């Protein structure tokens, strides 16, 4: 990923927070037929290794766990909030019309060796941790124990675990840091004025990281 210095995010805790906020990973593996991409929610364990470990599962019918080349590192892409930025929002446009549209976004790229875990106890623990994490904000969170044990055992037999110990992590947060404070204010105002609050997540992200 191309990361100009002004858009680089080196803070590991921030990158971990972005992964937790947007846990659906695009997992890119190399196979004998070329590159393959799958979209899998991953759960981060920040304490399991120096940079963290990601765990998830795939359907046993998904060929990813049999066809990937284990000697080649896997790439996991986590996409954060994003938004189109109109040059009309820049305050500087009134003085100099040499401005163009752009796109603001956040992304985290994780590299590591993909490991396959075909173990029912491991999978049960992974599913329990995954659902606990994502049900935590609900008034009445669903738990693994709510489903009949024989039903969950049957479902677990149809999946395979995946784990990636992170060897390298790269973060990019393109939030108009290369523009003046007045231009950034204009972008925030423009985003907040979009219909259906479409740009509000990006506006909020920009406001939280203002220099």
Edge-to-edge strands, sheet with 53-59? 34-41, 24-31, 74-85, 102-117, 159-174, 53-59, 43-45
Average pLDDT, the chain: 96
Helix H or strand E encompassing 127: helix 120-135
Instruction: Inform me whether the pLDDT recorded for 198 exceeds 80.
Output: no
If you classify domain 5-179 with CATH, what class do you get?
mainly beta
Task: Report d(CA 130, CA 57) in Å as an integer.
Answer: 10
**108, 85, 100: which is closest to 17 by C-alpha?**
108
The string of pLDDT tens digits covering residues 116-164 is 999 999 999 999 999 999 999 999 999 999 999 999 999 999 999 999 9
Mapping DSSP to helix (H, G, I), strand (E, B) and coil, where does residue 59 land?
strand
- Dist. CA 106–CA 120, nearest whole Å: 35
Half-sphere exposure of 42 (CA within 13 A, CB side): 29
Q: What's the whole-model pTM score?
A: 0.94
Q: pLDDT digit string (tens) for 13-52? A: 999 999 999 999 999 999 999 999 999 999 999 999 999 9
């Amino acid at each position: 990923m191309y990361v100009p210095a002004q858009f680089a995010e080196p803070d590991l805790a921030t990158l971990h927070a972005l992964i937790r906020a947007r846990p659906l990973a695009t997992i890119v593996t190399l196979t004998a037929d070329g590159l393959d991409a799958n979209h899998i929610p991953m759960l981060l364990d920040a304490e399991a290794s120096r940079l963290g470990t990601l765990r998830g599962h795939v359907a046993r019918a998904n060929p990813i766990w049999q066809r990937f080349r284990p000697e080649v590192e896997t790439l996991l892409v986590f996409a954060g909030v994003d938004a189109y930025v109109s040059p009309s929002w820049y305050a500087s446009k009134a003085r100099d019309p040499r401005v163009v549209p752009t796109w603001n976004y956040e992304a985290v790229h994780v590299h590591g060796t993909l490991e396959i875990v075909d173990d029912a106890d491991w999978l049960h623990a992974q599913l329990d941790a995954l659902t606990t994490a994502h049900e935590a904000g609900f008034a009445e969170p669903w738990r693994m124990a709510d489903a009949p044990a024989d039903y969950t055992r049957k479902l677990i037999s149809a999946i395979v675990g995946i784990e990636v110990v992170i060897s390298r992590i790269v973060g990019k947060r393109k939030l108009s840091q290369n523009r003046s404070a007045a231009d950034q204010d204009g972008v925030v105002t423009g985003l907040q004025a979009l219909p259906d609050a479409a740009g509000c997540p990006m506006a909020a992200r920009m406001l939280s990281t203002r220099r």
